Amino acid sequence: MTRIDIAVCTFRREAVSETLASLARLTVPHGVQLRVIVADNDIEPSARERVAAARLPMDIAYVHCPAGNISIARNACLDHADADFIAFVDDDETVEPQWLDRLLAEANKSAADVVLGPVRAIYAADAPAWMRRGDFHSTLPVWVGGEIRTGYTCNVLMRLAAPSITGRRFDLTLGRSGGEDTAFFDAVHAAGGRIAFAEEAWVQEPVPANRARFAWLAQRRLRMGQTHGRLLAERHEGFARLTAAALATAKCAACFTSAAAFVLLPVRRNRFVLRGLLHAGAVGGLFGARAIEPYGTVEATAR
């Protein structure tokens, strides 16, 4: 039997019940044994009753791992994993019945240490038209030079025995700002781990009203840039760091210039502005700017 643990980290989010219900509808691949781990990152065990009420055809383990730091929850899932693979999904997502089958098929075909899947954003009817047209919230991997060099935890399968993953944990210092998953998979890639993509292994994520705003997207891109900048800073010192900062500054200026050129086209304009904020965040991260910390505070309360 191939054993797979499916990990769900949760923080005060009622939608975790829908996530678990979607896992109950999974088509289980032949020869696969599943278990679900729910890591509750609240101070109080607020998700315990929701987990107990879930009706799943596989075992489910509840782990209370306080508080307000997503890396603590992710590491608790890794600590409690007892399987060949671990898959992560978010507590506001629902998976399609063939989701896990497609991730595992890609893992078997490619022999990759990590397999990412796509996340489809579901917008409410009152979300801004430019946001729906541009689909600013869906998640896909980024290829650089023909390979994927980092990843995310909102839809991923990991081979726990892979040398690039065994014993690795998420950075606690990034557990309130976010970017802990980017740093984790960046380190996996640096250690020789290969990251693949299962393009049909879909999960869906509704976009709540508090996220269907330009300000939320702007803060997220700035924070993502800070994470990238911190990772660059770990690999660059002195003149090399100044060179990296100059390049990011030039990219930032080019993006804002392009945004001005497309001021009457909101999708293209906002995409360039957000890209510019990403590069601006990278400059800050390169020089140790204080990280934005939404998890466990304003963002966590909205979860």
Q: Alpha-carbon distance 77 to 116, whole Å?
A: 18
| Confidence (pLDDT) at 296 | 61
| Confidence (pLDDT) at 291 | 74
- Domain positions in the chain: 2-206, 214-302
Question: Average of pLDDT values for 103-122?
Answer: 98
Paired tokens of 141: 């991997």
Q: Which residue has 């999974």 as its token pair?
A: 26
pLDDT digits (tens, 9 = 90+) for 55-71: 999 999 999 999 999 99
Half-sphere exposure in the Cβ direction for 106 (13 Å, CA): 22
pLDDT digits (tens, 9 = 90+) for 240-293: 999 999 999 999 999 999 999 999 999 999 999 999 999 999 999 999 887 777
Q: Alpha-carbon distance 275 to 269, whole Å?
A: 10
The model's pTM is 0.93
CB contact burial 170-182 (16+ within 10 A = b; e otherwise): bbeebbbbbbbbb
pLDDT digits (tens, 9 = 90+) for 161-201: 999 999 999 999 999 988 999 999 999 999 999 999 999 99
CB contact burial 7-27 (16+ within 10 A = b; e otherwise): bbbbbbbebbbebbebbeebe
Sheet architecture: strand order including 203-206: 94-95, 203-206, 119-122
Question: Average of pLDDT values for 122-132?
Answer: 98
CATH architecture of 2-206: Alpha-Beta Complex (3.90)
| Confidence (pLDDT) at 57 | 96
302 pLDDT higher than 60? no
Q: Alpha-carbon distance 8 to 21, whole Å?
A: 12
